[in-house]
Amino acid sequence: MSWPTDRKHRLWRAALAVAVMALGGGLHAQRGAPQPPAPARTAAPIDLTGTWVSMVTQDWRWRMVTPPKGDYRGITMTPEAYKVAQAWDPARDEAAGEQCRSYGAPALMSVPGRVRINWQDAETLQVETDAGMQTRLLRFARQPAAARPARSWQGDSVAEWQMPRGNVPLNLRPADRTPGVAAPAIAKGGTLKVVTTNLRPGYLRKNGIPYSESAVLTEYWEVFKRENGEQWLTITTLIEDPRYLRQPRLIAIPFKKEPNDSKWDPTPCSAQW
């Protein structure tokens, strides 16, 4: 049995129309003037705001107390860094007004304490710590080079959102669907990536293990909610410093969200404790 020619043409025209419609959205998006990106606050795929407490369940002996000189377990220093660490003198640091050396961005999130995160403006996240009373500014809008400030404990932090994206082979597989429920346009969640440079030299650990001014700090901030309602923040941290580190330092720091900041306890920097 064969179909009439006009019916055959109608079927193929319909298939062609479906294909054009399916591709239409993508093609349309590629034409015309580029749209300005939404402000970072509007585009945020995750909500980092609020007060978070660091859970000191690992590296306790190096974080909760000031370890003695010579306790360098876990950090692979260069010989030059070892000499600097062996010369650690907290009293001298205090006297020189350098008591915040262990509160610089590469170490700050490991310091036991609470962090309070707010939007300073539509393109800047402000991260305050009660321990050391420090403030980090995570800027989504790039600053002009001329506006770059002097080196500081918290340096210059450039932030960007990273949205979920599957790899190609898995992406092409049909997604699991519940019958009658449309698949969401994009997967939920996302990550905040922050790269910090322009740092003033400081300590990775309170007992004088140094990082240099050429250190680069890369962080990935991820939040997740548990079935019991708890919200957690994990900051995956990569510190690269060829002058003082033989290998990049990798740590991930967990925080738990608190309902308010009633336990906020501003405490100034201390070189001794």
Partner 1 sequence: MTHHMRIRALAAVLAAFATLTAVPASAQMDLSGYWARDGDSDNGYSREPVDLLGIPVSADGRAKALSYDIAALSATERQCQMYTPFYALTGPFGMKISSEQDPITQKLVAWKIDGWIDRDVTTIWMDGRPHPSPYAPHTHGGFTTGSWEGNTLTAVTTHFKMGDIKRHTSFSSDRATLTYRFTRYGDLLTVTGILEDPVYLAEPYVLTHIFRLDAGGTTFPLTACEPIEELPHLHENPGLVPHYLPGANPWINELTQNRGIPMDAVMGGPATTYPEYRKVLKDTYKMPAACKIDCGAPPPPAAGGRGGPPPPATPAGGRGAAPPG
Which listed residue (75, 105, 108, 199) binds partner 1 by CB under 8 A? 75
Closer by beta carbon to partner 1, 155 or else 190: 190
Instruction: For residue 8, give the H/E element and its range.
Output: helix 5-30
Contacts to partner 1 from residues 8-27, by CB under 8 A: 8, 11-12, 15, 18-19, 22-23, 26
Contacts of 66 (CB under 8 A, 6+ apart): 90, 206, 207, 272, 273
Contact with partner 1 (CB under 8 A) among 190, 201, 202, 208? 190
Of 72-80, 116-124, 139-147, 152-160: span binding partner 1 (CB under 8 A): 72-80
Which of residues 42 and 262 has its CB atom nearest to partner 1 in the complex?
A: 262
Interactions with partner 1, residue window 113-142 (CB under 8 A): 113-114, 131
Q: How far apart are the first and last CA of the chain?
A: 90
Q: Are 140 and 154 in contact (CB under 8 A)?
A: no
Question: Can you list the positions of beta strands (E) in 100-151?
Answer: 114-121, 124-129, 131-132, 135-139
As a whole number of angstroms, the distance between CA 270 and CA 139 comes to 28
Residue from 101, 115, 116 nearest 151 by CA: 101
Does position 28 interact with partner 1 (CB under 8 A)? The reply is no
Q: Please say which residue, 76 or 135, places its beta carbon nearer to partner 1.
A: 76
Q: Which of 30, 35, 247, 260 binds partner 1 (CB under 8 A)?
A: 247
Choose between 50 and 254: whose C-beta lies nearer to partner 1: 254
